[in-house]
Amino acid sequence: MDKDYDLIVIGAGPAGYVAALRGAQLGFKVGCIDNWLDPDGKPSLGGTCLNAGCIPSKALLDTSHHFSALRTEYADQGILVDGLRIDVDTMLARKRSVVTALTQGIATLFKAQDIDWLKGHGQLLGTGRVGFTAHDRKTPKELTADNVILAPGSTPIALDSAPLDGEYVVDSTGALEFTDVPKRLAVIGAGVIGLELGSVWNRLGSEVTLLEAQPDFLPIADQALARTALKTYTNQGLQIKLGTRIKSAKLSGKSVRTVFEDASGEQQERYDRVIVAVGRRPNTTGLFTNESDLLLDERGCIHVDDFCRTNLPGVWAIGDAVRGPMLAHKGEEEGVMVVERIAGQNSATEPDLIPSVIYTTPEFAWVGPTEQKLKQAGIPYRSGRFPFAANGRARAQGDVEGEVKLLAHAETDRLLAAHVFGPSASELVQQAVIAMSMEATSEDLARTIFAHPTLSESVHEAALAVDGRALHMAGKPKRG
């Protein structure tokens, strides 16, 4: 009996829609099920990332950066502004226009590739069988396919101690919709999402406090650069309290009474708004029936092998719902890999080459292990560091905070990692990703010609510093 599709993808976030597009390129008949509805109740492609995550948050970060720079940074360049103010409504309208342009762009791509956009809820029933319930229907329809890819994404983790009310206590989605600038704002969680959201409203004038349970700041990042970042963020006005346990955060009058405990004991503060940003969890609720026998791991993620195969034949899972970092680009590459493997190609992904970025100002980006992890693993290494303060382009544009750090194997010189805190870190770290994917050495980078004056020269100098011969940094020179 003929199947309805060669491939059904459940979820149209970055992982799912990219898988669908690649499948169509390879000649598959593709159906993509997605249940996202925009604020007006209309179906919208792109998942959390495009609708309520990566893209809208970067739009607000960009606006808030320009506002803050005009207010605090440009006077010494002779740029003087009187009567500066922020129009929040216009800022939000611009954010929505950015989101709309991109989500409609995906719809255009789907149409061009003859991908069926199935608007509603999808549920795995078993191998090759999917239940689909359209938004305007109550009864599911069973669809069949040779292969099914599960790409349900993730959802914010809730805290019982800080229940969401949609206005005063909100998650990361709600934090993108404030219609005015809170005078006092608390962010529960000082990870990637908390720092980015806290930065937005801090730049616009909020007094922002981040309450973090971990005793160390950004333990996933290089700790030397994390200490620099903590100092920088603090100087920008972010109050970051580490080792803090939230006991309650509830609306009382027109403010949120927040009780927390740290090394000083129990404390109480009132904030105009509270953002809960303590991480995300796989969005697997209702994704599959018990009869399907889909296997989850101990963390609640869908269990997959190195090639994203589940325990069920012809059923694959990608993106935030499987092991590894919850990053859009990681999910996209998994989607491409899976579809190409279905087509008979020997595609693979390299988990050690997934870059991470925090889009604060300065940006914080890294790829590969930290020094701490290399030491724990007993891997011999050499490091090269170069500060942006010694870079001509950074000095000319007034972005001198931070540095580039490269780590190379002490015996083979193969590049192992790059850690960047500073201007355009998200772009600079990609140079290291490319080099690492080609198994390059620090010497390969050191012998590469970089244009002058550019921020990327800091990568060049850090590569030279691995061998003790950075040219534009004071220190005892290496002879030879």
Angle (CA) 291-36-105 rounded to 5° is: 125
Indicate the burial class of 475 (C-beta count within 10 angstroms; 0-12, 13-18, 19 or more).
exposed
Alpha helices by DSSP H, listed for 348-418, are: 371-377, 392-397
- Confirm if 404 and 338 have CB atoms less than 8 A apart: no
- Other beta carbons within 10 angstroms of residue 109's beta carbon come to 15
Tokens of 189: 């969680």
Q: What is the DSSP letter of 14?
A: H
Catalytic annotation, pick one of 65, 121, 452, 460? 452
From residue 400, alpha-carbon distances to 114, 143, 229, 359 in Å are 49, 57, 13, 17
Q: Which of 224, 241, 320 is nearest to 11 (CA)?
A: 320
Which element (helix H / strand E) includes 123? strand 116-126
Nearest residue to 295 via CA among 281, 309, 279: 309
- Count the alpha carbons within 13 Å of 29 in the hemisphere toward its beta carbon: 9
Structure tokens at 6: 């060669």
Name the region of 75 (left: φ>0; alpha: ψ -120 to 50; beta: rest). Answer: alpha
Catalytic-residue membership of 452:
yes
Contact 284, 321 (CB under 8 A): yes
Instruction: Write b or e for each residue in 56-92: b if 16 or more Cβ atoms lie within 10 A of its Cβ, otherwise e.
Output: bbebbbbbbbebbeebeeeeeeeeeeeeeebeeeebb
| Residues with catalytic roles | 452
